[in-house]
Each structure stands twice: as structure tokens, then as C-alpha cells.
Amino acid sequence: MFEAVLLTIITAATPLLIAAIGELVVERSGVLNLGVEGMMIMGAVVGFAVANQTGSGTLGVIAAIAAGMAMSALFGFLVLVLVTNQVATGLALTILGIGFSGLIGEAFIGIPGLKLPDLYIPGLSDIPFIGPVFFQQDALVYISFALVIAVAYFLFRTRLGLVLRSVGDNHGSAHALGYSVIRIRFAAVLFGGACAGLAGAYMSLAYTPQWVENMTAGRGWIALALVVFSSWLPLRVVIGAYLFGAVSVLNLHAQAVELDIPSQLLSSLPYLATILVLVLISANRRLTLVNTPACLGKPFVPDR
Amino acid sequence: MRVELVKRKERSRKMALLSPLIAVGLTAIAAGIIFSISGHNPLSGLYKFFIEPLTQEWSFNATIAKATPLILIACGLSVCYLSNNWNIGAEGQFIVGALFGSALPILMPEFENAATLPLMMVFGMIGGALWALIPALLKTRFNTNEILTSLMLVYVASLLLDYLVRGPWRDPGGYNFPESALFSDAATLSTIPGTSISFAAPITLIVAIVLAVVLGKTLKGFEIRVMGESPRAGGFAGFSARKLTLFSFATAGALAGLAGTMEVSGALNQLLPTISPGYGFTAIIVAFLGRLNPFGIIVAGFVLALSYIGGEAVQSAMGVSNKIASVIQGLLLFFVLACDTLILYRVRFVGQRGSAGEASHV
């Protein structure tokens, strides 16, 4: 029982973790992309479609990443080149993504999908309890942890990471020092899109290997909340993602023990928990002000 | 070639009027491309989608029926967006408003008189406003990001509706279908005599006109615009950002709640597990396409309503999925936002060398 619960928590947390770590980099560069949900759902449908047509899960994952990046490039062009309002443009990206995914996915409804294979590590996977939980996951679970470590290292241990953070904290100074604010932000936005696409692929190729319309069900928005929860620190995203993963599988396991609670109340818990967490974090001004990128969401037009 | 923006000395009034039109034009071109990719004649697709619904009486009336909630919700949202409050949870406020409005006919079906309908509308407005005040209070009290909280409450609201129509509010004589009992005549919003247009339409028109007067001619309207453009200047004038946040959210919630009540009382006549085809989200597009101006919103409401009807039309006539409607809605918002850049900036296309001589102005 405990083992099964842990396994479902990991699968529920992984897409949140991947999408949130991507958005964290975007926000560290000073851009607020509210379109995570739209990029994620496009990743889910494109990943499913390509895996279904080619029979290759790997190709599906690659296509999903490309789809997420294409969506984010659209966002990046509007927000960075045409200096449109970031909130409204992010919303537009979500509305467009949900629409397009519905159109593309219509042919794939009800078709059984392809599940990414679980990795088998000789020796380690056979250890009782620890083996199945930690060493028999699909590749994306490990990639999600690798991503967190890589992002943490990049942001705080490399020169380019420092530049990216400086662009997010003070784009005027970064520009004056000769850094191309727009180019750096565009790269960050593309990385965020790739992560959101990957998270979408996880939804349709591992979490529930099928295509259901609107299957991301607000996870892109929860990922955005996780970035706030983490106060823009990569390692804290892991804690947040697994906490939310745990909350979102409550529904599943409550049915097994036959609790007399309306299923709708249990389904709404992740959303209510998001609100609660946002309130707790934002009420603590010290925590939020220290790490919030100072230029988050602010438009930048280089003066010439 | 590189794109450069040059700030205009002042807002271009010409572009402020032209940009929504350019956006609609670009959307039509993009839609035509999608039609031809999916193997259909783009021109007849566009005609069926955008023009034909307006030429037949029943589809014209259907367009009005869809435009009504969109315009009403977008009017409220414009108050939020003008004052820099990002309420994106109108869909949830619409649903909770509908629940409050339906409480009377469902819980007290014997209460049938001339006061039934007005009371339902008041309840609907209260319900929507209360739901909208949650993110507003969290913002003013705890500084919590209203974008995420208002959106999360959409999911909670639709689960609440789902619970009620499958549980306590299910029609006892309804063979276990997840729906409430049908509303009585006293609880039904009727149509204008001699037409099939609901009274919701003239009510919405009145709201839009009142809003236009408030925004254009009153101190409150001035406050809303000042606080949106320069909260610091507004602070010196003695305006309170917190109070305005509460006011704008409550207004938007009340109008969305009214729209929700009129939808269940007029169009559906009962509660169902789903009562909105995403009106609350589409209204965001309506608000921006209408340039956050009540009269612009009326026009924009028709354009977006047409996309719902047009989607159905191309599905039945050409076998194109009606999902194309939401793609077109999303594209439209993109183009609107992109074209709005032209109001504040001049776009320069600069050649690779970037010398001023090669630059051409748009």
C-alpha cells in the first residue's frame, strides 16, 4: 500500500516538477510566462500523436519538446520584440494551446497510447521496496531530477547563470553592461517552453498513456504557483512538486479506503492547496522580496 | 532584417481604432490558412464561419444569445483590467453566480411571483461578487497574486457545480440524470415579445451604457483609469488601491454572476454539470478586442459570439471540427495584442547593416 502511494506521488509530481523548473528559469530572467498550461497541453497532444504514429516514445518526447518550444517562441516574439503585456499574452498562449490541442487531438481520442518503458537497473531495481520506488521509474522521472540539479548549478554556479539573473533583476544595468537582454530572455523563454512540452509529454505518455481533451487540468497553473512557492529557488521546487503530487493523489487513494467525502471535494484539494500555499508564502514578505526577480513581468525596450 | 520599435510621442488615435480591425483581418487570413491545410476551400470556410450566421434569422438570434453573456462579463473585466487588477476567474464567478441565482427556484420551487426573477438576479450578482472577492481580499490582505488564485477558484467552482447537480440539487424526478429540476415560469427569463431574443440582451445593453457613463463621466471612472496607468499619481490624489481592487473584483464578479443567472434562467432553464462553453475565458478576449471600452466590447462580443456559431456552422456544413472556433479565438487575442503595439510604438524594419537610410517606417 505505502509503496503504491509513493509510486503514484512520484508520477503525479514529475510533470509539475518539470514544468515548474522551466518556468523558474523564465521568471529568473524577468519574464512571466502564464502560458505554461497552453504549452504543456500542446506537448501532451503532439507527444501522443507522434508516439502513436511512429511507435516511438522517444520521438514523441522530442516532438513534445519541439511543440513547447514553438509555442514559447510565439510568446517570446510578442512579449520581447513587440513588447506586449506579458499577462495577457500568456493567457492568449494558454487559450490558443487548449484550442489547438483539441483540434489536433480529436483524431486520437480513445486510442490506446504508448507508455514510456520503466528503466531497469540490474541489482538496484531488485532491492525490496527501495528498488521499485527509486530505481524502476521511466527515464523522465530521472530527467526531472537531473534538470533541477542542472538548473540550480547553472543559475548559481556559472557566469551565464549570473548574467541571466542580473537580466531578471535589473535589465537596465544588464543592458548598459552590454548584455543582450532580449536574446538572453528569449533563450530562457525557449527553455521554459521545452520543459513545459516535456511535462506535457509525461502527461500523455507516462501519467495516463492516452489523449483526453484538457488532460493537463490546470497543472500548468499549479506549476506557476510552485515557482512562487519555491521563492525562485530550484531545490525548493522539488519539495513543492512532491507536496502537490501527494495532495493530488489523495482522491485516488481515498476511494480505496472508502471515505465518505464527495469526490469533487477531494478533486478540488490541489486547487485549494495552491491558494493556501500562495497565501502563506505571500503573507511572508521577507521570504518573497529577497528572491523575487526585481524586473519580473516588466517590459524592456532598449533605448537607442 | 531586424524589427525595431520606436516609441511614439503620444498614443496614436488612428492606430487605436485600426488595430482591432487589423487583428480581425489577420485572424481571418490565419483561419483561411487553417481551412486550406485541413483540405477545404478557405473562402467558403471563411464565409460559412464569419458571414453566413449573420444572414439567417435563427443564427443571428443565436449569435445575440452568445454575445450577451460575453459582453456582460467583459464589461466587468474591463473595470478590473483598466485598474490593473488581473481577474482571470470570471468563469468561476459566472458559475457561482448561476448557483446563487438557481438556489431560489431549486430550494423554494413554490416561491413563484413577480419578485422571483429579480431576486434570482440579485442573488446571482451577490454570488459572483462574493466569489470574486476571495482573490481580491487575498490580494489586499496578504498581497497574494490574484491571477493564480482567481484561476484556481474556477476549478473549484466547476467542481462545486458538478457536486450540486449530481448530489443535493439533482432533480428527484429526473431518472438520476445529473441535472436540476426545470425552473418554473416565474423563474424563467422570457424573450422579448414577438422575437426569440432573451431579455438578457437589453439588460446587457443597459449595463454597457451605464458602464460607459461611469467610466467616461464620473470621478469613479477617472479613479479607475488613473490607478491603472499610474498608481503612484492616484495615491497622491487620495485614491486607495486596495479599495479599488475590492471594487473592481466585486463589479466584475457581480456582472459575471448576473450573466450566469440569466444563462441558466433564460437559455438553459435548469442547472447542468456544464453551463458555460468557456464564456468567462472568451470574455477576456472580448475585453481586449473591445479595447476595454464598453462600446468596443459590444462589437467585440459579437465577433467572438460569431466564432461559436461559425464553429458549429463549419462543422455541420464542411465537416471541420468545431474546435477550430477556440483556435480562432486564441489567434485573435494574439493578433489583438500584437497590433496594440502599433498604438504606442512605430515599427521599423531595419536592414542587416541597420543604417537609418534602409529603414522603412510602418
C-alpha distance from A147 to closest chain B C-alpha (Å): 25
Q: Is residue B1 part of a domain?
A: no
Say which range, A13-27, A38-52, A75-89, B251-265, has the weakest mean pLDDT: A75-89
So what's the pLDDT on residue B150?
Answer: 95
In a domain, B330, yes or no: no
The more confidently predicted of residues A187 and A304 is A187
Report if residue B11 sits inside a domain: no
Contact B85, B249 (CB under 8 A): yes
Q: Cβ–Cβ of A88/B153 closer than 8 Å?
A: no
pLDDT digits 0-9 by tens, B209-224: 999 999 999 999 889 8
Among A36, A83, A268, A292, which would you mutate to test the B interface (most chain B Cβ atoms within 10 Å of its Cβ)? A268
Q: Is A116 exposed, middle or buried (0-12, 13-18, 19+ CB in 10 A)?
A: buried
Shortest CA distance from A283: residue in chain B: B142
Contact A267 B334 (CB under 8 A): no
Give the minimum alpha-carbon distance from B186 to chain A in angstroms, rounded to a whole number: 32
Q: Which residues of A touch B340 (CB under 8 A)?
A: 84
- Owning domain of residue B157: 67-290
pLDDT of residue B161: 96
Does A144 touch chain B if contact means CB atoms closer than 8 Å? no
Which segments of chain B have a pLDDT < 70? 1, 351-362
Mean pLDDT, residues A172-187: 92
- Whether A265 and B337 lie within 8 Å, measured CB to CB: no
Which residues in chain B have their CB less than 8 angstroms from residue A285's CB?
Answer: 143
Cell of A228: 512562487
Partner A contacted by B288 (CB < 8 A):
yes
Q: How far is B160 from chain A (nearest CA, A)?
A: 7
**B281 reaches A (C-beta below 8 A):** yes
- CB distance from A214 to chain B under 8 Å? no
The residue among B289, B296, B298 whose CA lies nearest residue B19 is: B289
pLDDT of residue B323: 83
* Contact residues on chain B for A268, CB-CB shorter than 8 A: 155-156, 159-160
Owner of C-alpha cell 471594487: B247
What grid cell was written down for B247?
A: 471594487
Is the minimum CB–CB distance between A302 and chain B shorter than 8 Å?
no
Averaged pLDDT for residues A80-93:
90
**Of A73-77, A141-145, B49-53, minimum mean pLDDT range:** B49-53
Query: Which DSSP state fits A106?
Result: G
Instruction: Show which of residues 5-34 on chain A sit within 8 Å of chain B, judged by CB atoms.
Output: 34
What is the chain A residue with the closest CA to B152?
A: A271
In a domain, B132, yes or no: yes
Please count the structural domains in chain B: 1
Q: What confidence tens digit (pLDDT) does each residue in A208-248 have?
A: 888 988 888 889 999 999 998 888 999 999 999 999 999 88
In a domain, B310, yes or no: no
Task: Find, among B65, B83, B93, the residue nearest to B280 by Cα.
Answer: B93
Smallest CA–CA distance from B285 into chain A, residue: A92
Express each pLDDT in B4-19 by its tens digit. 778 787 777 888 888 8
Chain B interface includes A269 (CB < 8 A): no
* Three-state secondary structure call for residue B361: strand
pLDDT of residue B360: 47
Out of A95, A97, A265, the one facing B281 most closely (by C-beta) is A95
Q: What is the pLDDT of residues A250-263, one digit of tens each?
A: 777 776 676 678 88
* A119 at B interface, C-beta within 8 A: no
How far off is chain B from A205, nearest CA to CA, in Å?
A: 23
Contact B327 A96 (CB under 8 A): yes
For residue B40, tell me if it sits in a domain: no
Chain B residues touching A267 at Cβ < 8 A: 159
Instruction: Report the alpha-carbon distance of residue B271 to residue B248 in Å, rounded.
Output: 28
Q: Is B23 on the interface with A (CB under 8 A)?
A: no
Strand pairing category for B360-361 and B2-7: unpaired
Of B163, B325, B327, the CB nearest to A262: B163
In whole angstroms, give the CA distance from residue B290 to residue B284.
10
Candidates A227, A278, A284: best to mutate against B (most CBs of B within 10 A) is A278
Burial A45-78 (b: 16+ CB within 10 A, else e): bbbbbbbbeeeebeebbbbbbbbbbebbebbbbb
- The contacts found for A279-282 with CB under 8 angstroms, 24 or more apart, are A279/B138, A279/B142, A279/B144, A279/B149, A281/A228, A281/A229, A281/A231, A282/A228, A282/B142, A282/B143, A282/B144, A282/B145
Check if B210 contacts A (Cβ < 8 Å). Answer: no
Tell which A residues from 156 to 195 touch B, by Cβ distance under 8 Å. Answer: none
Residue B354's pLDDT is 45
In the predicted model, what is the mean pLDDT of chain A? 89
Tell me which chain A residues have a C-beta less than 8 angstroms from the C-beta of B3.
81-82
∠ CA(B120), CA(B193), CA(B104), 5° rounding? 15
For residue B325, is it within any domain? no
Return the biggest CA–CA distance within chain A: 66
| Residue type at B329 in one-letter notation | Q
Residue of B nearest to A303 (CA): B6
Any chain A CB within 8 A of the CB of B274? no
The reply to whether B208 falls in a domain is: yes
What are chain A's domains? 2-291 (1.10.3470)
Asked if the Cβ–Cβ distance from B152 to A221 is below 8 Å, we say yes
List the single residue in A95, A103, A268 with the smallest CB-CB distance to B156: A268
Q: Of chain A residues 50-109, which have a CB less than 8 A from chain B?
A: 74, 78, 81-85, 87-89, 91-93, 95-100, 102-103, 106
Task: Tell me what pLDDT residue A44 has.
Answer: 96
Q: What is the pLDDT of residue A47?
A: 95
| Helix H or strand E encompassing B298 | helix B294-318
**Smallest Cα distance from A33 to chain B, Å:** 12
Cα separation, B24 vs B359, in Å, equals 27
**Chain A residues touching residue B162 (CB < 8 angstroms):** 264
What number is the average pLDDT over the span A10-37? Answer: 95
